[in-house]
Every structure is written in C-alpha cells, then in structure tokens.
Amino acid sequence: MTRQNLRHFALALSLSGLALIPSISLGQAGLASKLPGRSPAFAAEQEATKPPTYTVLYTFTGGADGAVPYGASLIRDGAGNIYSTTNGGGNDSDCSAGDPPGCGVVFKLDGAGTETVLYTFTGGTDGAVPFAGLIRGAKGTLYGTTSSGGGGILPAGTVFKLDNTGQMTVLHSFCSAANCADGNTPYAGVIRHGGNLYGTTIGGGVSNSGVVFKLDPAGNETALYTFCPNGNCTDGMSPNAVIRDKEGNLYGTTTFGGGASNSGVVFKLDPTGAETVLYSFAGGADGANPFGGLIQDDAGNLYGTTSAGGPSGQGTVFEVDPAGNETILYSFTGGTDGGFPEAGLIRDEKGNLYGTTFFGGLASPPCYSFCGVVFKVDTTGLETVLYSFTGGADGLNPAAGLMLGKAGNLYGTTGYGGADSDPTCQTGIGCGVVFKLTRR
C-alpha cells in the first residue's frame, strides 16, 4: 500500500450525500467496526463555560482562487496576512484530470478576508499539487514544495520560492538524479536555517523509501539520509516533515517501516547524517502510522500524533522523551472526541497541545462521526473538543495542523466543505475553508 493511497481519498460511501471513506484499508486504520464512543479523559463539556467562537474566514470556490487546502497549514505575517497553498484549483486548463481540476495555488488572505492568488501552478516545470504549507523568509519570500511536476526525469515535485513580486523560482526538481536518488514526491514542506532548506520526500533514494534532503542557497541538493538502505526498513520509510534543534539535529516521523508491524518510527538525524530510531511503533496501543511531523519542548521531549493505533484503533497523541520512552497522552475513540488525526500538533506556553482529527466528531447526520474536530489535550491528558465540524458551510475533514495566533486564537483549514464551493468539488462536498477559533 502506497503513501499516496493513504493521503488521497476515494469518495465511496454516500451518507446523506456525504462521501467520506478514504482509500485505506479500514482494518489497518481502525476506522471500521468501531462504534462512536468516549474516553474517561474526554471533556464532554467541550469548554461549555467559554466555548470558542468559530468563524469561516474564506471559502474556496474551486475556480481560480484554488481548491482543497488539504494538509496545508497556515503562516501569518506581522500585518496579520495569512499564507498557504491549495492542492487544486487555479488554472483549470492544466491538471484537468484532478477532482477538482487545476494544479493548485499559493494564496494570501488579508485581515478583511480578501483572498489574493500569489501564484497559480501550471503543472509543468514549475510544479503542481502542493500538499504542504509555506515558510516565510526575509523580505516576505515564501518557500514551499509541490508533490508533482518539475523538470526532473519524472514529474516528481519541486522546492520553490516565491518573492514578494510574485516571481516564482524552482530551486530544485526532484528525480533530477539517476534512479531518483535525490528524492521523489515531497508531501511535507521545508524548514530553513542558515540559508539552507531541509525537508523530506516520501519516495526516491536507494529503495524508493524516501529521503531527508538539504538544499543550499546555491540550489545544490544533498540527500542527507536515504531510508531503508538495506531493504529491511527498520529505520523507517516514507518520512514526514522534520524539525531542527539548536545542535543541528533533525527529528521526524515515518509513516511506515520500523518493526514487524510496519507502523512507522520516530527518528533523529544528526549533523553527520547518522540516523537513530528513537521509537518504533508496534501498531497497537502505542499508535501506528503517523502522518504529521513533531514539535519539541525545551527539555527535548517530542510530541506528535499517529493516525491509527491506540485501544480503539483511531489514533493517538504521544510524547517521546530524549531516551526514546513513549507515553500516550491521549487515545482517540473515533466518536465525538475525534479520530484519525493526520496533522501534527502545536503547543502553547502552558504546555497544552492542540490539533485536528480528520474523522470523528458529530454522530448526527450528515456527519455520522466522519466530519472531524479541533481538539486540545492539556498537561494531565484531558482532551477537550474545541469545535466539531458539521459538514456544511463550516467545512469538514481538517487534515492540516493549526496556527496559534494572538490571544490564543487558533487558525486552520478544512480539506472540504464550505457554503460557496463549486458543487463539483469532490463529488459535491465542497472545496474547503480557512477558519478561525476565537478563544474567550
């Protein structure tokens, strides 16, 4: 089973017009034969005393403005403008096989909710279908990746920069090296340090199991580590986004590989390129198949999510300490507390963790526990649902992480839904929204 199958959807089950089953083995992901439920640590009141206020900042129409910001987290500049990408929409004359058509866009959303398309991908050497969000450098330059297109041997994606005049520059096209040794298909974005960009691809390398790469300011790409070099893949395969500590170590997760269960790992890559598996998921109560990246606290503890595993098979929130000991902070049930988290976490100054789940939430139609939630897990392991998506104008199926703004407000995207979306977007369930949760 490929990572692409797990990340994309086959809209196969119609529930009051809502089709929401992903193209994944439901047995593996634990999304079948699970009744909606709740955990003893689930805060049923959902912050009832001071519920957050939910606001849709923008609804994608599926046209030139973009469509489906699936997996694309948000960033914000000092003036309050928001930036990110969409997987589809834009130039409908290219990437027409997509649903919705179009190769994706880079967009800006100002404080008044006005969207500006900064760049529309054509699907050629400039790339196509960005799955990740952006980072912002000096003078407002934006950096990101596309999962397809480019000028390599195969249309295996790019690393790009977009300056504040709208000038697009492809910094690297993957599969430019023989046998795609430089990597193939970046689903995650990049981080930047000392002018160098660091990221991952889910494929390419010796055994087509992905690489961690570095791109210097001159555009020279180096594969810092190639996964599964010996064929047994105990080091992991199909890596997600990486973070960097002050010593120059990179940390991340892989969706597959590891032990016998092929459930992924948490890894560390030191400045010499030596990889250490900090934790290998067993695929049971400890979690399985992380899609999101990690965050790190001052003590060196790492936090993330798994999309599956846990007692109910619906995913977990976990912590791995510097010695490699894993602690499950919360296990999702797939009921009103959420299920199948695809994105990573953010953390506030009090140590509370925030994230999204793709499934779970409202059991009532049209959701039937498939619309997703925004959640908080406090330092005691208490989970609170901050918002449950209804599958209507507010959107559904958040697959990206959150952005923490001023006064503790949360910002994010949904992959689908929205009142004004083109009804052809993903067989009628909308093209996604940008939202804000105002914490009172």
CB contact at 8 A, 276 and 251: no
Task: Scan for tokens 């990889």, then name that residue.
Answer: 275
**Predicted pLDDT at 423:** 62
Superfamily of domain 3-438: TolB, C-terminal domain (2.120.10.30)
What DSSP character marks residue 51?
P
Q: What is the DSSP string of 109-121?
A: E-TTS-EEEEEE-
Question: Regarding beta strands 105-109 and 82-86, do their DSSP bridges make them parallel or antiparallel, or are they unpaired?
Answer: antiparallel
Residue 17: Cβ within 10 Å count: 11
Domain residue extents for the chain: 3-438
Which residues of 218-260 form beta strands (DSSP E)? 221-226, 237-244, 250-256
**Predicted pLDDT at 12:** 30
CB contact at 8 A, 426 and 416: yes
CB contact at 8 A, 314 and 320: no
CB contact at 8 A, 75 and 134: yes
Q: Which residues of 376-415 are buried (b: 16+ CB within 10 A; e: fewer)?
A: bbbeeebbbbbbbbbbbebbbbbbbbbbbbeebbbbbbbb
At 222 the three-state DSSP class reads strand
Is 0.85 surpassed by the pTM of this model?
yes
Residue type for position 408: G
**Predicted pLDDT at 419:** 82
Which residues of 157-281 form beta strands (DSSP E)? 158-162, 168-173, 191-193, 196-201, 211-215, 221-226, 237-244, 250-256, 265-269, 275-280
Alpha-carbon distance values, 236 to 207, 264, 314 (Å):
12, 6, 21
pLDDT in tens, the chain (440 residues): 344 344 443 333 322 333 333 333 323 333 332 333 344 455 544 455 678 999 999 999 989 999 999 999 999 999 999 999 999 999 766 776 666 789 999 999 999 999 999 999 999 999 999 999 999 998 899 999 999 999 999 999 999 999 999 999 999 999 999 999 999 999 999 999 999 999 999 999 989 999 999 999 999 999 999 999 988 899 999 999 999 999 999 999 999 999 899 999 999 999 999 999 999 999 999 999 999 999 999 999 999 999 999 999 999 999 999 999 999 999 999 999 999 999 999 999 999 999 999 999 999 999 999 999 999 999 999 999 999 999 999 999 999 999 999 888 999 999 999 986 566 676 578 999 999 999 86
**Predicted pLDDT at 420:** 64
At 391 the three-state DSSP class reads coil
Residue 368: Cβ within 10 Å count: 18
Q: Rounded to whole angstroms, how far apart are CA atoms 220 and 33?
A: 49
Contacts of 220 by beta carbon, 8 Å cutoff, 6+ apart: none
Residue 320 parent element (H or E) = strand 316-320
Spatial CA neighbour of 305 closest among 357, 348, 244, 227 = 357
